Structure 1
Amino acid sequence: MTVSNLDAFLDKLQEEIFDEAKEALGEKGFDRWRNPKHSGRMENPDGWGRVTGECGDTMEIYLKFKDNQVADASYFTDGCASSMVSGSFAAELSLGKTPEELTDITADDVLAAIGRLPEEDLHCTTLAARTIQAALDNYMGSMVKEG
């Protein structure tokens, strides 16, 4: 295989992978997979949670509060594309929310923000919602200790 044939093969392979990912994740999910937002561990968060889902993926969510609202949020996961997209949208959903409003974020909210996921990956939205709750629990626990 010549270099130009190899390049053409790799370009076609990447196009097929992207087409499959776009079909599985939907337009919004695909765009977020290609251009992650709110990704990475946060230094000195006010609250953080770490949950391992039944699939073995682990997700972390970090929250920074200002004036009783989430001013910054981020996530980290060692999981698949669906976990990454779910964590990213969950972090985004947290922004501007009070602790009380965070308790209302569900897997359905995360899925609605994404648009769609493959049926076999819907548990990733549950993992993201559970991780937000763990981060909130951590934050509320630290508030009790300080108070």
Structure 2
Amino acid sequence: MTSFDDIVDELQSKITEETIDAYGQAGYDRWRNPPHRGKPEKTNYQGESTGGCGDTIWIFLHIEDDRVVDAGFGTDGCGSSTISASMAAELAAGKTCDEAAEITGEMVLNGLGKLPDEDQHCAWLAATALHEALGDYYNKTAKQVHKEG
């Protein structure tokens, strides 16, 4: 008779295998330990985007001197939302705001290497959240310049 622990181990092994098949090894590794998860301590700008699937991604930015010093993310969505948001934050970190504004869903998808077809919209959802965070920066900076000018 098969023990409960053996059944659980077999099930976990099958889930791991299917996830690696769907996301690739790099996507699986990112899902298990997503870089940039959470809100950086010095966050001063943020954006969010909700997809038709119901997932929401938040991108948090720490910007100084027109450069993304640090980036983080949060999501209430699936694994594809998690790894897409993680990649968007990673791509933005260290870039000027104008460079970060050029990050597209295609770039997020390419950075991941692989997403299931039905989840590829998550890459665009993450890029949109990043653009919203940059819009927060541009709006607040423009208002500050307007007040000073």
Whether TM-score is above 0.5 comes out as: yes
What percentage of aligned pairs have identical amino acids? Answer: 46
After TM superposition, which residue ranges in structure 1, 4 or more long, deviate above 4 angstroms? none
In the alignment, is residue 21 of structure 1 matched against residue 19 of structure 2?
yes
Amino acid aligned to 1:8: D
Q: Please point out which of 66, 75, 80 is paired with 2:64.
A: 66
Partner in structure 2 of residue 91 of structure 1 = 89
Partner in structure 1 of residue 137 of structure 2 = 139
In the alignment, is residue 38 of structure 1 matched against residue 36 of structure 2?
yes
Q: Secondary structure at the match of 1:38?
A: coil
TM-score if structure 2 supplies the norm length?
Answer: 0.92
Amino acid aligned to 1:93: L
Structure 2 gap ranges (5+): none
Q: Distance in 1 between matches of 2:114 and 2:45?
A: 28
Q: 1:70 to 1:108 in 2, by over 3 A?
A: same
Q: Distance in 1 between matches of 2:27 and 2:138?
A: 31
**1:54 deviation in Å?**
1.1
Q: Distance in 2 between matches of 1:114 and 1:76?
A: 17
Q: Distance in 2 between matches of 1:136 and 1:67?
A: 13
Q: What's the C-alpha RMSD, in Å, of the aligned pairs?
A: 1.3
TM-score if structure 1 supplies the norm length?
Answer: 0.94
Q: Could you tell which deviates more after superposition, 60-69 or 6-15?
A: 60-69
